[in-house]
Structure 1
Amino acid sequence: MTTGTAAAQKKSGIKTLAPGQILFNEGDAADSMYIIQRGQLRLFRPKGKGFVEIAVLRSGEMLGEMAYFDPESKTRSVSASAITSVEIIEISFNALEKTMAGLNPWFKTLINTLAERLRKTNERVRALENNSVGFSSDYRFFQSADIVKMLSVMFLTFRSLGENRDGKWSLNYNKLKTYALEIFNINEAKMEEFIQLLTDEKLIEVTVDEMDSSKVFSTREPDTFRIFQVFFNTQRSLRDEKKLIITPKCEKFLIKVMEECDSLPVVDGKVDIEISKIAAHFKQYNMGITLDDFEGAKKAKFCGEYRMGENGSISTTINIDYLRKMYPVIRFMNALNRVNESKAKTNP
């Protein structure tokens, strides 16, 4: 069977996507359209080192249909990726062609006319984008200003519009959406990705209201958003050499340090610990983490200077109270970095 025949006979069916998974890229060959049964998809167009955000599609909406109506190109005009877990129905163009063939001629003409007008509008938008200023080489999906703004929205809406029941704050998604999109003018795709990140990091829980089937967010500590917002806003005003930078390897080192400190005496918020034992642990399990990876912790003042023992051991004093206070910020900061890195990999 030839490739062309295989494409023509492609069957329709249900597909599932994991968060962040690409459904298709701009320029890919197109042989089917999709209807979203569950979840959310982000439409975007790579540009320079960044992206032009097009839209966020939800349950009941369709995508990929324009390639069927475009007589000049059977390729995707945008890229699409999953924001949440997604379940979609794939309808092959072969099956769609059979359906179109059975329509009344006047209705088929109406559909083709509307599709052609939309295609020309898309071409004009694309031309305007190509003539606009591109993103710089240090483009990030989540910019510092975006993060500060979204954290502010989370804190303000939970505190002003949320309900506190038995120490747990709940907020209807529609209220958050109104503030985020209409008042703070936050990009919808970024807000949805941010909510997914908060969910993954267990900073919020998402449930469904039994009365109207709308989404409800809940958290026990809305002040966490305020703490994060202050931190990221402060980071924005600092010179690069003054910013808190904890690498993923350093973060793993800090996790092990906190575990070891649990069994050691704390004096004035500080713990004396033999740091070389932890380095030996990583070496034993071939984890590729050394004392050099702990330098970021020293710079951040999570520990004091190293002390050499007579047997070659290395000890230091951990500012454990300060470390435990800052660790949630470190974890969230690195989670944001991972999202930015994953977005960059989709457009090298």
Structure 2
Amino acid sequence: MKSAYDISAKINSSRNIINRNEKIFKRGQLMFIEGETTTEMYIIRSGKVRIFRQEGDTAVELALLGSGSVLGELSLLDHQPRSATGQVIEEVVATVIEERFFRETLAGIPAWLTSMIGLIVKRLRDTMKKNKDDIIRTNVGGVIKVLLLLYQSEGFKKDGFACVDLVRAKELIYSIIGLGSLEAETVFLHLILKDMLLIRKNVTGQEYLVIKNIEVMKLYMNYLRLHQRGGKLVGEDISEKSYELVEIVFSAGEKSGRKLQ
């Protein structure tokens, strides 16, 4: 049985290692990048970090973290690629937990507990993905409706596109359908990937949403509503061969100088 002195010495040794691993990150520096396979975990002692995902030239903010927050724990545990990027917005002092130290710490606990940690992490990853899919499936139609209504009442045009204020959109989405800021960002990201939405900043740094095509967004909203009720849009289930036949007919009409109605 280990003595109190041995346990105390081990704790002090761990503290010394942690203190030696403190690192300063300057404003604007990237602590980790989405998609990379680094495994360090960070404990923020001071400062602030912005967590975001990059979609084309648009950065979709997911969270703003400060003192006491932990970053990168999942990648340390399961070696999966980083799911987002961490950028310093106020100089950060953080404790860096490297994989070697983490594995040495795990070696001191029972094997069954290590296995349980791995299982919990996997379930957490799966739950996060399922929650994200559920948020999109059940709320994207409502978010689109709010954006369209907001554009009608408070929207503006920019370079020919329909636009709405991002903060105002989140406020209405929360008050009307009860979706929080991060959940709304998840739906925005879905619409960005569908090439229907953009996030831009004006000259004062205020963010706004750009609706690339209102009619396409309306059609997508109706498509989602019909599918929730088990229905389909007209022409949705047309076969590929039928589509090719229509193209041939239209092409023949154009070559003969006839306009097909």
Alignment match, 1:195: 188
User: Is the alpha carbon distance of 1:18 and 1:300 closer, same or farther for their aligned partners in structure 2, counting shifts above 3 Å?
Assistant: farther
The one of 175, 178, 184 equivalent to 1:182 is: 175
One of 165, 173, 181 as aligned partner of 1:172? 165
The whole-number CA distance in structure 1 between the counterparts of 2:38 and 2:229 is: 38
Residues 38, 87 of structure 1: 8 Å contact kept: yes
Q: Hey, what's the Cα distance between the residues in 2 that align with 1:38 and 1:166?
A: 29
Distance change >3 Å, CA 232–CA 201, structure 1 → 2: closer
Cα root mean square deviation, aligned: 4.6
2:66 corresponds to 1:62: yes
Q: Which of 127, 132, 143 is 1:141 aligned to?
A: 132
- Structure 2 counterparts to residues 1-348 of structure 1, below 5 A: 4=14, 6-10=17-21, 11-13=23-25, 14-18=29-33, 31-33=43-45, 35-38=47-50, 40=52, 57-58=63-64, 61-62=65-66, 65=68, 85-88=85-88, 90-93=92-95, 139-143=130-134, 144-165=137-158, 167-211=160-204, 213-238=205-230, 300-304=237-241, 317-319=244-246
Residue-by-residue CA offset, 1:87-141 (whole Å, 9 max, x unaligned): 13542359xxxxxxxxxxxxxxxxxxxxxxxxxxxxxxxxxxxxxxxx99x9442
Describe the superposition over 1:128-166 as per-residue Cα deviations: whole angstroms up to 9, x where unpaired.
xxxxxxx99x94423322122122222222233211356
Residue 236 of structure 1, CA deviation: 0.9
Structure 2: tracts of 5 or more residues without a match: 1-12, 54-61, 97-125, 249-261
Kept after mapping to 2: 8 A contact 1:168/1:218? yes
Distance 2:154 2:82 in 1: 29
Instruction: Output the CA distance in 2 between the equivalents of 1:147 and 1:20.
Output: 26
In structure 1, stretches of 5+ residues that fail to align are 42-55, 68-74, 95-134, 245-298, 306-315, 322-348
Q: Does structure 1 retain, via aligned residues, the 8 Å contact 2:139–2:187?
A: no
User: Alpha-carbon deviations, 1:22-54, whole Å to 9, x = none?
Assistant: 999xxx97654464354559xxxxxxxxxxxxx
Mapped partners of 1:169, 1:146: distance in 2: 21
Counterpart Cα distance in 2 of 1:20 and 1:149 = 31
Identity score, percent: 8
CA–CA distance in 2 between the matches of 1:36 and 1:181? 25
**Contact conserved, 2:51 with 2:87, CA < 8 A, in 1?**
yes
Q: For 1:181 and 1:20, how far apart are their aligned partners in 2?
A: 30
Give the match's secondary structure for 2:170: helix
Relative distance call for 1:20 and 1:184 in structure 2 (3 A) is farther
Q: 1:18 to 1:149 in 2, by over 3 A?
A: farther
- TM-score w.r.t. the length of structure 1 is 0.41
Distance (whole Å) between structure 2 residues aligned to residue 29 and residue 38 of structure 1: 16
Letter in 2 for 1:186: L
TM-score, scaled relative to structure 2:
0.52
Cα displacement (A) at 1:318: 4.8
